[in-house]
Amino acid sequence: MQAYSDHELIAKISALHAAIEHWARAKDLWFDCGFQTYEEHSDGEPGSPAIVSLLCFDGPLHSLFNGFSDDDGSYDEFHALVHSLGFECENQDGSTVAFFATDPHLSSAFDSYFHWRWVCSLIQPDCDDVYEEMYAHFAQRPDDLHRLDWREFEILLHRIFQNQGFHSELGPGRGDGGIDIRLLQRDPIGDLLTLVQAKKYAPHRKIQLDAVAALHGIAAVEGAQKTLFVTTSAYEPVAKRFAARTSGAMALAASHDVATWCDAASAGIIADKSILVSKSHVSRVVADVSRVPDHRVVHATYGYNTTLNSFALVIKETKHAALLMALPNQIVSHDGYGQAGYEVPVFDDSALAMQNADTVWRTKRNVDDGRVSYWDGSKGYRRWNGRPASFNRAD
């Protein structure tokens, strides 16, 4: 089986883009269109087989792909071109065409590549316990730690230590005085401070004595009880001997240790997101919003040639992630046939029944100009305005 590098995969996508644009320009069809990654288009988790690229269009290509203009053979010609490059395509929604690799081995390589891109997007200082994929990825592929940049490596460690129950303080990344992370363990007898130094080095670049000795010296000045040095490479024997002479005050860790920590973190994150929040908490939130709906009630519209509504309740959130629980809809007026009208969310006992694995899901949380939104990969939610939302099920 051929192994594909990231560079080779990117080159194949670039060749696909160039060939399509050249073809479309030659036919005077390249207007109001362009390419996007699935991540850029949806900000969602990639599926399998992975969407290699998306062609977003209006204008002449929109007419061609939706049968709104006379076809001079261009439609079949486009598909033949795409197939000749090793891809197939699918009209997604009338305004985007998705491309997939036809060769199973190449498709699998794209799956891995875009999954890696997704994992990297999860490396945020604060996503709490919503995403387990990040930990699982590095537990299974510790060599991928070398693909992170130095700051991503520090943030990953910070997240791991949070998961382990430490109060973790992530440093600024630059000008941190040689300390990347400070860990605090609360104890009735006295708090325990651990200073962490992280070095994302290539496997052949081993940690020298001066680096571990410097960390030990900083700990003495700051009054820290313990130190932890973490690297993606290894340690020179003299550095190991120095750490061994500190009577347990200094610990050395490498990639295999980080993989073990990630495995434990992944196992500790619950797949059923509905039980991350207590039923009593959800009951209180539902009771609160039933009296005066607030920012925790969110709404999204969706549908192709239809207008449908999805109401949800924010039951847990951090700076970058949130858990939403679906809310039932109730029609308050309609056209006599139930095909068009207005509906509102329901906050009675039927709402409490929505706290289960199928109707509690995770989203990415974003703030733009003070407005909070939640994106689950297919629908974008914002605060409900409190007014009945219109629906139209007629196609």
**Predicted local distance difference test score (pLDDT) of residue 2:** 63
Which one, of 136, 132, 133, 173, lies nearest residue 152 by Cα? 173
11-38 pLDDT, tens digit per residue, is 999 999 999 999 999 999 999 899 999 8
Cα-Cα-Cα-Cα dihedral sign, residues 173, 134, 138, 278: positive
Span 171-199, mean pLDDT? Answer: 81
Q: Is the peptide bond before 49 cis (omega within 30 degrees of 0)?
A: yes
Q: Report the DSSP beta bridge partners of residue 256.
A: none
pLDDT at 275 over 80: no
* Residue matched to tokens 């033949």: 80
Same domain, 140 and 109: no
Which one, of 306, 299, 308, 307, lies nearest residue 327 by Cα? 299
Structural domain includes residue 348: yes
Same domain, 279 and 360: yes
Among the candidates 54, 88, 113, a domain finishes at 113
Pick from 9-18, 194-203, 222-231, 372-381: least confident:
372-381
- Under 8 Å between Cβ of 329 and 308: no
> For 69, which DSSP code?
S
CATH number, domain with residue 32: 3.30.1240
| pTM exceeds 0.85, yes or no | no
Among the candidates 214, 240, 267, a domain finishes at 267
Same domain, 134 and 255: yes
Q: Report the DSSP beta bridge partners of residue 99.
A: 53, 89
206-247 pLDDT, tens digit per residue, is 999 999 999 999 999 999 999 999 999 999 999 999 999 998
Same domain, 100 and 144: no
Instruction: Say how far apart CA 235 and CA 228 lie, in whole Å.
Output: 13
**Predicted local distance difference test score (pLDDT) of residue 42:** 74
**Predicted local distance difference test score (pLDDT) of residue 390:** 96
Exposed, middle or buried by CB within 10 Å (0-12, 13-18, 19+), for 133? middle
- Under 8 Å between Cβ of 68 and 62: yes
Choice between 153 and 136, residue whose per-residue pLDDT is larger? 153
Which one, of 255, 5, 233, lies nearest residue 113 by Cα? 5
> For 1, which DSSP code?
-
**Predicted local distance difference test score (pLDDT) of residue 27:** 92
Exposed, middle or buried by CB within 10 Å (0-12, 13-18, 19+), for 347? buried
Same domain, 131 and 95: no
- Under 8 Å between Cβ of 363 and 322: yes
Same domain, 186 and 305: no
41-87 pLDDT, tens digit per residue, is 876 678 889 999 999 998 889 888 888 877 788 999 999 999 999 99
**Predicted local distance difference test score (pLDDT) of residue 50:** 92
CATH number, domain with residue 151: 3.40.1350.10
**Predicted local distance difference test score (pLDDT) of residue 272:** 58
Tell me what percent of the residues of the chain surpass a pLDDT of 90: 55
Token pair of 75 as six digits: 């439609």
DSSP helix/strand/coil, 206 = coil
Domain of 323, in residue numbers = 273-392
**Predicted local distance difference test score (pLDDT) of residue 316:** 84
SS3 of 18-48: HHHHHHHHHCCCCCCEEEECHHHHHCCCCCC
pLDDT at 268 over 80: no
Question: Angle at Cα 111 formed by Cα 54 and Cα 50, nearest 5°?
Answer: 30
Give the pLDDT band (50/70/90) at residue 161.
Answer: confident
Give the pLDDT band (50/70/90) at residue 131.
Answer: low
Instruction: Say how far apart CA 334 and CA 207 lie, in whole Å.
Output: 71
Question: Angle at Cα 281 formed by Cα 278 and Cα 283, nearest 5°?
Answer: 110
- Under 8 Å between Cβ of 229 and 253: yes
281-326 pLDDT, tens digit per residue, is 888 889 999 999 999 999 999 988 899 999 999 988 877 778 899 9
Among the candidates 90, 113, 136, a domain finishes at 113
Report the domain count for the chain.
3
Structural domain includes residue 119: no
Structural domain includes residue 174: yes
DSSP helix/strand/coil, 4 = coil
Span 335-355, mean pLDDT? Answer: 93
